[in-house]
Amino acid sequence: MQPYLEKAAEAGDVESMYYLGEANRLLARGLSHEAMDWYLQAAGHDDPYSMLRLWSGGACVAGGECPEDDEGWREKARDEQLPLAEDGDTDAMLALYYIYGALDDRDEGHEWLEKSAEAGNPEAQDRLAKMIRDGYGFYWSEESRLEDAEKLARQAAEQGYVPAMRTVSSMLEEQGKEQESWEWEVKVSGAGMLDARFGVAWCYLNPDTFQEFGGSQCGVERNPVKGWAILYAMREEAGDHYPKSLMERNRDLLTYEQRQEAEALAEEKWLNHGPPLSKFPARYGF
């Protein structure tokens, strides 16, 4: 992915600068010089997440790269984002959730997360929904807790925020609403999420083993040709090793002619059709 990010970053795209920093940091398992250079470029364009990475990686101490106009990278991120958040910028509100967390003021961070969610930011809504499901806030019953969490996740999902679609699907499954959960999983697959696409393909190919390996109830009848077609398209488009492994284990389910039919179907309906496949990683996390 890096050559594409580099083209966008060199053209001035700040988000690409940040993700180049992320890619290099993860490859090096720490704040490498390459990662720091990209984070510094993004921070020069006021990107708060790059500033947090520079702080957590010790750029000031180990790299001698400190902001000239503030106490440190956390403080610079806060001082730049706070006025924006107070003016109603929901992305800045969300950034403050992470910034105040880094500043060891989680209560203030949670307040900004709630404000961002209430103002309609889908990423904040999804994050808060997961927190509520996992125990955040006071509720008289688990039923009311799950209802609130699901409602919030749906608000984000209905705005087209793909990770929230997956959250809704998982919450419905937890409540035993298997058919509706499956319907959302199909939507997530159609939106390009790799994990959901893989699950849908496995369900078509071999639903029995999907459930044996911990998958949820499949909402479709077995159709090995369709399942193989989806897996083939995934393998060709994304080079993901999971489709390849599953295809090798289930190769005997189809005849040679059926595999040929499936590959033709993949070319027609799935391969490079629709949104690009992605795992939709969190913007700021590991």
Rg (CA), the chain: 22
The answer to whether residues 185 and 198 belong to one domain is no
Of the ranges 75-84, 114-123, 163-172, 217-226, which one carries the lowest mean pLDDT score?
A: 217-226
DSSP code, position 277: P
Task: Calculate mean pLDDT across residues 105-126.
Answer: 97
170, 191, 212 - which closes a domain: 191
pLDDT at 164 over 90: yes
**Could you read off the pLDDT of 247-273 as tens digits, one per residue?**
999 999 999 999 999 999 999 999 988
Higher pLDDT pick, 30 / 209 = 30
Residue with tokens 């060709």: 236
Q: Are residues 146 and 165 in the same domain?
A: yes
pLDDT, residue 215, reads 64
What span, in angstroms and rounded, lies between the C-alpha atoms of 233 and 270? 6
SS3 193: strand
> Is 254 in the same domain as 281?
yes
pLDDT of residue 42: 97
Q: Are residues 238 and 260 in the same domain?
A: yes
Tokens of 106: 């989680």
**pLDDT above 70 (res 229):** yes
Q: Rounded mean pLDDT of 30-36?
A: 92
Residue 120 CB contacts under 8 Å (≥ 6 apart), including other chains = 90, 155, 159
Q: What is the pLDDT of residue 131?
A: 96
| Residue in the structure block whose two tokens are 């959730």 | 97
Domain check: are 160 and 211 in the same one? no
261, part of any domain = yes
Tokens (6 digits) for 45: 């364009």
Is the model's pLDDT at 189 over the cut of 90?
yes
**pLDDT > 80? residue 211:** no
Question: CA-CA distance, 154 to 97, in Å (whole number)?
Answer: 21
Indicate which CATH number applies to the domain containing 126: 1.25.40
- Is the Cβ–Cβ distance between 171 and 163 less than 8 Å? no
Is 156 within the bounds of a domain? yes
Report which DSSP code applies to 275. S
pLDDT for the residue numbered 197:
94
Q: What 3-state class would DSSP assign to 278?
A: strand
In the chain, the percentage of residues whose pLDDT exceeds 90 is 77
| DSSP state letters, 47-100 | -HHHHHHHHHTTHHHHH----TTSSSHHHHHHHHHHHHHHTT-HHHHHHHHHHH
pLDDT recorded at residue 239: 85
Residues 230 and 281 in one domain: yes
Give the C-alpha distances (Å, rounded to integers) separating 226 from 43, 59, 264. Answer: 46, 50, 11
pLDDT given for residue 174 in this prediction? 86
Q: How confident is residue 69, by pLDDT bands cut at 50, 70 and 90? A: confident
Summary mean pLDDT of the chain: 92
pLDDT > 80? residue 119: yes
Residue found by looking up tokens 């499936």 in the block: 262
Q: What is the pLDDT of residue 214?
A: 64
Task: Report the alpha-carbon distance of residue 52 to residue 67 in Å, rounded.
Answer: 12
Q: Are residues 186 and 213 in the same domain?
A: no
Domain assignment present for 13? no
- Domain boundary (138, 165, 191) is at 191
Distance set, CA 167 to CA 65, 133, 138, 146, 282 (Å): 38, 10, 21, 12, 13
Distances in Å between the alpha carbon of 140 and those of 87, 104, 154?
A: 35, 29, 22
| Domain limit, last residue, from 191, 217, 246 | 191
247 in any annotated domain: yes
pLDDT given for residue 60 in this prediction: 87
Tally of domains in the chain:
2
Contact between 252 and 227 (Cβ < 8 Å)? no
Residue 115 has pLDDT above 70, yes or no: yes
Cα-Cα-Cα-Cα dihedral sign, residues 91, 93, 98, 103: positive
Q: Are residues 168 and 202 in the same domain?
A: no
- Structural domain range at position 266: 193-286
Count of CA atoms in the C-beta half-sphere (13 A) of 197: 29
DSSP track, 218-248: --S---HHHHHHHHHHHHHHH--HHHHHHHH
